[in-house]
Amino acid sequence: MCLSVAKRQDIAGVTERRKRLESLRRMSAEWQFLITLNEQLRSLKDPVAIQEAAVRSIGEHLHASRVNYAHIDGDEFVVSRSYADEAPPLAGRGPVARFGASLVAACRRGETVAVDDVNTDPRFTDAERAQLLAGGMAAFVGAPLIKDGRWLAVLGVHADTPRTWTRDQIALVEVTAERTWGAGERARAELALDQSQRRLFTFANLLPRALAARLHKWVGEGRYASLFDNIEDTLTVERLQVFDLEAMRAYPVLLEPLLFYVLHRVVDPRLRVGR
């Protein structure tokens, strides 16, 4: 039975509309993922927790067998956080060469690499192909993070069976990598700021000038600043050994606050006093 030209055009039109609706549905899912990821990362203050949330989120969203966030140390990768769904874990540290010389060169240039099927991809040698398959990587996407011309980290999404990665999925891995790096840098900066605010010097700057002047020997370049004007507010048993308390008897102005500091800041529970 032959279809009229009008009928064929109607069918083609319906097919095209379905394709557009499917594309919009996928775009909506990706946007929703990014919105949810941003909300998760914004609430976290620890860089490691940020990486943990990112690898799990992208892994679950893309139904990946494994996701790794790794730092690059010369010619080696160091896995910081990993998500796995019934896949063997990747070694915590190893040579980047295991991913193939061609793909490593692309990453160093800042290019995202996508492999649909390790078995047939011509960029691998037989030895490289065998090593990847042995590690449960039949397909993967790697998004390198290049800062100031240096390859510093990579987000890798793996599949244990061949898989065709869409442009949207590859872009999502790239954006997730950048968001993870950016959120981690923000968290580190905030942590450094928080720690700097804990110095006695910072407190002295908030006091009236006349009162702050009385603290000059304890802060900054003052005589006793090395003991009290620091970021850490706890002591370990080992650190107690650096204080010669007997010798400090010659400095009564220092001995009393030093003893107070030791008794209230030591972290070893055996030496806690009044707590």
**What is the Cα gyration radius of the chain?**
28
pLDDT for 143: 96
**Residue 87 — very low, low, confident or very high, per pLDDT cuts 50/70/90?**
confident
- 135-176: pLDDT as tens digits: 899 999 999 999 989 999 999 999 999 999 999 899 999 999
Residue 22, phi then psi, degrees to nearest 5: -65, -40
pLDDT for 25: 56
Residue 217: exposed, middle, or buried by beta-carbon count in 10 A (0-12, 13-18, 19+)?
middle
Domain made up of 5-194: CATH architecture: 2-Layer Sandwich (3.30)
Beta bridge partners of 76: 73, 95
Q: Rounded to an integer, what distance in angstroms lies between the CA atom of residue 242 and that of residue 135?
A: 49
Residue 271 has pLDDT above 50, yes or no: no
pLDDT for 104: 96
Q: Closest Cα partner for 158 from 177, 135, 141?
A: 141
Residue 185 has pLDDT above 80, yes or no: yes
Domain boundaries, the chain: 5-194, 200-271
pLDDT for 237: 46
Residue 240 has pLDDT above 70, yes or no: no
pLDDT for 232: 59
Residue 109: exposed, middle, or buried by beta-carbon count in 10 A (0-12, 13-18, 19+)?
exposed
Residue 126 has pLDDT above 90, yes or no: yes
Q: In the chain, which ranges are E strands?
A: 66-73, 76-84, 93-95, 113-115, 139-147, 150-159
- 206-239: pLDDT as tens digits: 667 766 676 777 677 777 666 666 665 554 444 4
What strands, in cross-sheet order, belong to the sheet with 150-159? 93-95, 76-84, 66-73, 150-159, 139-147, 113-115
- 35-81: pLDDT as tens digits: 888 888 888 888 888 899 999 999 999 999 999 999 999 999 999 99
Amino acid at 59: G
